[in-house]
Chains A and B, each alone.
Chain A
Amino acid sequence: MSDRKRENERIDTQTLEQLQLEQLQSTINRAWKHVPFYKRRFQSHGVEPAGLRAIQDIAALPFTTRQDLGDDYPYGLFAVPLRDIVRISPAPGTTAKPVVVGFTRSDLRVRNQLTARFLSAAGVGDMDVVQICLNPGLSNWARALKEGAEVVGASVMPFTMMSTAKQLMVMEDFKTSVLLTTPSYGMHLLDTMEGLGKSARDLALKTVLVVGESLKDSDRNALEMALGVKVFVGYGPSDVLGPAVAFECPEKQGLHVNEDHFLLEIVDPRNTTPLPPGREGEIVLTTLTARAFPLIRFRTGDVARILEGPCACGRTFVRISTVSGHVGNILTIRGVKTHPTQIAQILAADPKTASSRFLIHLYKENHLDMVEIWLEMTPLLFSDEVKNIEQVLKRLRKHLFQRLGLEATIRLVESLTFDLEDIGPGGVVDHR
């Protein structure tokens, strides 16, 4: 069975389409039968599983959005009974309700195999020592990457929260050869190394794999030059799927989508009409093999285009460009996806700031995404004792971090500021 999986990466188009159709049909059947949400949704669109006769018929099915994922919290979207679930991953989600993703044993196995594909395409093997530096908001991915690295036989350190200097110390001492991180953290690492007077020679790094954010060509060059490494990109929507839905091969001509497990569509974000290859649009994914948590026509919010033509590496899976942007209001901060309303909710939940207006400013500092929340000073919040106000801000920061994985600074501003800004309260100013 494992040999067949390797062959899959070079599967011919006809066989792939047959495989996809079979898997799609059974996914739709399972979702219809076991997930009330999908049944309701299909019925309200007047579609039923039997109508799906070809892959193209998927266009008749309704989309699933991030808003939908919080429905029937916590276990409502599971397509298998709880006793078949071996892992439940709480994710902050991007709406009021957290998203709870479940995995069966086979789901985990598939995810680990796909991660292993990504890693081995980048040349990671049993001679490597792998270190993972991801934002705590991506801890589900940190586990996924760790397990994938174990599958290819590398020595893996599970992710640990440490200062960058300490990460570097570990990297040096443990003779790390492969770093798994986000592009911005990679750049931040470069700066820290410079500050500490360290160079690539102090490290044993060979390969850097980045996930979570799109990688600018200039950053790729900077990382490759300064560290003397090869950089590879993996893609997945961090809130619901693994880090290796698509991955770069050594040709570095786009990312191969694991089409034996996901069905890819690119649609126009405005009217959701499917777009032909070459046209940029929103990535829509349908899981083909997920048992516990199937997703049907999930709108990722990520923008990319399909690259046409075969790849020199011999893999037959379709390629997409690196993600060039996002649609909708989802913010991607250090790889973690957040919706501004989630920040609003945390502020509203605190009695001292319930009536305060706010603005979210995003900027880069030392290559890292920074969040600054401009918070309106109100009589409710005001106190003669600075200490009291500080306490409120500390509390908010803590909640933002624990609930959303965001490390934010909070700046108190006069009410006037809001009247001067073009953007309404609760809005986002992205200086990145």
Chain B
Amino acid sequence: MLRLKSIHTYYGNIHVLKGISLHVGPGELVALIGANGAGKTTTLKTISGLIRPTKGEIDFVGVPIRGMAPNKIVRKGLSHVPEGRQVFAKMTVWENLELGGYLEKNNAVVHEAIHRVESLFPVLKKRRHQLAGTLSGGEQQMLAIGRALMGWPKLLLLDEPSLGLAPIVAHTVFQSIARLRDEGMTILLVEQNARAALHISDRAYIMETGRMIMEGPSRELLDHKQIKRAYLGKGYREVWESP
């Protein structure tokens, strides 16, 4: 579905991505994990065309998209949900979603898509006529994702969907993402909450200072002592660790 081969990206003189390769297969939920400043967001922006890489290849559904304009990439079926729950606060939930379907001219199709999103996120249906600005953080995040889903993209890029959410709210967001994958959506998820991301994803990449240092099935990485220490917090204890 998506393939990056040895991508190098600069911000001015700063070499941010130093030869990143990754791939996402159809129907996969892949997590990209790393500390702040590791280059996760840059990777997403590079994929969706917001930043141009200096070197490397990006293929999406078998077509090279490196250097393509962001809106063209969107038309190919790649949807990017940036961090920070970007919704139009002064519009209703319904209007926000309609806006997400701007590529589609046929109103009936748009409405059908809204219903589909609402069935995925029932809370949006409940809040249909509320202004987006009055929604809770978690609901806004679902709305942001819902808007990206309006064109039913082939690939969804999610940047830090749990950022700034209370743990319990984050949990529902993660559940919705897992459900999306179960519906067949292909997702590349960038997350600081490594534990949750590893729990719901199929595979994951670990990034450090612009380089990949590990790749593998998520359940293996969850068990990984180094990753536990670095990303899952030191609070964990094993059975036999003496009291």
Contact B239 A3 (CB under 8 A): yes
Complexed CA–CA distance, A369 and B70 (Å)? 79
Contact A314 B243 (CB under 8 A): yes
From residue 37 to 51 of chain B, which have CB atoms closer than 8 A to chain A?
none
Residues of chain A lying within 8 A (CB to CB) of residue B241: 120, 125
Residues of chain B lying within 8 A (CB to CB) of residue A6: 239-240, 243
Count B interface residues, CB 8 Å: 7
Contact A151 B242 (CB under 8 A): no
A116-B242 CB under 8 A given contacts A126-B225, A153-B225 = no
Asked if A2 is an interface residue, CB under 8 A from chain B, the answer is yes
* 5 A-B pairs with C-beta separation under 8 A: A6-B239, A10-B243, A116-B240, A120-B242, A314-B243
CB A260 to nearest CB in B, in angstroms, measures 13
CB A154 to nearest CB in B, in angstroms, measures 11
CB closest residue in chain B, given A123: B242
Q: What 1/0 flags go to A119-147 for Cβ under 8 Å of B?
A: 11101011000000000000000000000
Residues of chain B lying within 8 A (CB to CB) of residue A152: 238, 240
Residues of chain B lying within 8 A (CB to CB) of residue A120: 240-242
What 4 pairs between A and B have smallest CB-CB spacing? A120-B240, A116-B240, A2-B239, A6-B239
Residues of chain B lying within 8 A (CB to CB) of residue A314: 243
Residues of chain A lying within 8 A (CB to CB) of residue B242: 120-121, 123
CB B53 to nearest CB in A, in angstroms, measures 40
Residues of chain B lying within 8 A (CB to CB) of residue A3: 239
Asked if A5 is an interface residue, CB under 8 A from chain B, the answer is yes
Complexed CA–CA distance, A342 and B179 (Å)? 64
CB closest residue in chain B, given A126: B225
CB A284 to nearest CB in B, in angstroms, measures 27
Residues of chain A lying within 8 A (CB to CB) of residue B238: 2, 152-153
Q: Specify which of B238, B240, B241 lies most central, judged by the most chain A CB atoms within 10 Å of its CB.
A: B240
Residues of chain B lying within 8 A (CB to CB) of residue A119: 240
Complexed CA–CA distance, A6 and B238 (Å)? 8
CB closest residue in chain A, given B242: A120
Asked if A113 is an interface residue, CB under 8 A from chain B, the answer is yes
Q: A3-B239, A153-B238 are in contact. List 14 more A-B contacts (CB 8 A).
A: A2-B238, A2-B239, A5-B239, A6-B239, A6-B240, A113-B239, A113-B240, A116-B240, A117-B240, A119-B240, A120-B242, A121-B242, A152-B238, A153-B225
Complexed CA–CA distance, A3 and B240 (Å)? 9
Complexed CA–CA distance, A286 and B242 (Å)? 26
Complexed CA–CA distance, A152 and B225 (Å)? 12
Residues of chain B lying within 8 A (CB to CB) of residue A113: 239-240
CB A198 to nearest CB in B, in angstroms, measures 31
Q: What 1/0 flags go to B229-243 for Cβ under 8 Å of A?
A: 000000000111111
CB B124 to nearest CB in A, in angstroms, measures 37
CB closest residue in chain B, given A115: B240
Complexed CA–CA distance, A6 and B239 (Å)? 5
